[in-house]
A and B are shown apart, each in its own frame.
Chain A
Amino acid sequence: MAGEAKTAENLVEKPQTLEALRAGIVAGRTRATELAASYYERIEKKNPRLNIYLSLTKERALEQAARMDALAAKGDPLPPLAGIPIGIKDVLVMQGAPSTAGSKILEGYQPPYDATAVKKLEAAGAVLLGKLNCDEFAMGSSNENSAYGPVLNPVDPERVPGGSSGGSAAAVAANLAVATLGTDTGGSIRQPASFCGVVGVLPTYGRVSRYGLIAYASSLDRIGPLAGNVRDAATLLGLIAGHDPSDATSSPAPVPDFAAESDKPAAGLRIGVPAEYFAEGLDSEVRAAVESGIAALEAAGCSVKPVSLPHTKYAVPTYYLIATAEASANLARFDGVRYGYRSPSSETLAAMYSNSRDQGFGAEVKRRILLGTYALSAGYYDAYYLKAQQVRRLLAEEFLRAFAEVDAIVTPTSPVPAFRLGEKTGDPVSMYLADIYTVTASLAGICGVSVPCGATKAGLPVGMQILAAHLKEATAFRVARAVEAAQA
């Protein structure tokens, strides 16, 4: 497991489970205010090294903790996350708290409202500690595109934590939060979860309201939890999911009790293994760890059979065309007029737009805006954007066919374990290929979980990706619990 990594510093620590923390708070053995203070103490010690938090929301957190302590003292019933310290990725807005999305262009911005997922966590009693570092506008696979410097991986600080929710994964790995919210557009929850040895959830598209998420690619963006174990992640998803009138794409489907569903044994579930995800480019130690996870599923009574997803190799190019096209439209709003950075010395409106954007955006964001604008521009629209949308349908239909035969599909989350800082920054295509196993589910809108399934000889965590059909998160959680149990 992650904790065995041979680093001189001891940066990895597993958070207590929600159940254990809750028992302490309900019984009065643990005070929420003291728990929050102890987390802020840890953050103060470890954050200068790891760069996980961009800002802290101490006042709001301690007020909420005091409210929970008062409820407990009176013997009133406590909400499900009473006093639980949670961190929020900085692409989700919190009223009055800095929300930078990892970009200079939003430095100093203090949003006038809360994201729905944030509001729901707080209504459930959670204590929100602060805002977590991420790649600028969630564009990246290593956290090296943050305007505020990269997060370091607590397992091995010479390596990246993955991206774009690198801070969200690293915070759980280092126990600088019990759980966190991240966002996933092409793998941005699952891949960092696998790199840091924690659990990360990609909910079905529409399961969680995107209201208050600073948009990257709206047809792909999702908000999901990261936690130290599968059951806690399932609990959190249940609390943030559900229809929201403020997001027209949010699903009215009823939200199951995911934690209780995850308690059901995995025996009898049909597991598909796609050969396309075990081909050239897969690290041999990652393969071995994932295969041991598959063996654990067989031992738990699942049936395992091959499935075929032949369009997999087209997913990365399809993803980068669609995501950048949507990004070029979404990021047009950052123009120095209504919020965020305005270049101080522009004589005309047009110059103000372009100077503000040039000075405010980092290189990867500019690259993606340019690629997206190109793919949408006259003469190229059909060849690039429309073509990618057609391939997107082929990829989605292929998954729907596979899910007629199996309940879940298991793959490696990433072809490699956490790579070194700087290793891929010079070559955008090689960085994009880090997402090769995760972008497929993003395009198809299906759900999934990344769960630790072993480690390399050097102690780097390996994640198994468990994919399930639209709205079948409960199935993915059951499978993930079985993989997790075999690790214990």
Chain B
Amino acid sequence: MTSRSRARLGRVIALHLFLTPLALVWLFPLWMMVVFSTMPDNGIFSPGIELLPHDNFLDNVANLQRDTNFIGAIGISVSVAVTYTVLSVLLTSMAGWALARYEFHGKGAVVAIIFGTITLPYAVVLIPQFIMVARDFALANTWIALIVPPLFNSLGVLFMRQAFSMMPAELFDAARVEGVKEWRIFLFVALPLARPMLAALAIILFLASWNNYLWPLLINSQPGAMTAPVALGTLIGLTKVSWGGIMAGAVMLTVPMLIVFVLLQRHFIAGIAAGAVK
């Protein structure tokens, strides 16, 4: 072995010796979430160190369902996240298309207002949104309250504006010459071409809606109207509650997203990295 390849081998080993413990530490909370979700409560609160899963998961789900209607809350969360994602992708890609492809009066102002307010904290709009939705519109504890206000998110507008403006103009001009209407060009030429970007955007928006906590906590606080994270959150801190059940709920919220993440990693990473493009 030459000294050069020996040095290289040394570097390979050093890299893995450093990164492996770090990766294990990073995986540890997720692993323990799974382990806790399979343990009976008296096992979680016992002095021994348990690092391997048991077989109590289904009992824990039953305990959770006894503490709060979690299955019902999951149903609300899924429906809300799906509806929100579809609507947000549609609205923001339409807006992104207009900003990328047309010259019109007020375009500069629209872009300036979106960019100029993007770093303002969400906390600023929380109170007026709450007053408006709960008091003025009397829509607290409804689906509309969960779905519509968060549609203001401008991520998709910037993301799709970028995607559409990178497409060559000839693609659309050819259709225009043949007299195809603008909305048909958008629906049947532009959107199919933007499929990878739409996928990335949809994943990010779905995840944001699925995990959203603060707004649903404020606006839908009645038991039958809660989303799954809110329902789970109400149990944390109670004294007579099944922690195995809480962990089973955490697993039900997290594992489907982890599977989606593994399957669609490329889109996921593209979606997050695109945040840096703006």
Do A and B interact?
Answer: no
Name B residues whose Cβ lies closer than 8 Å to a Cβ of A: none
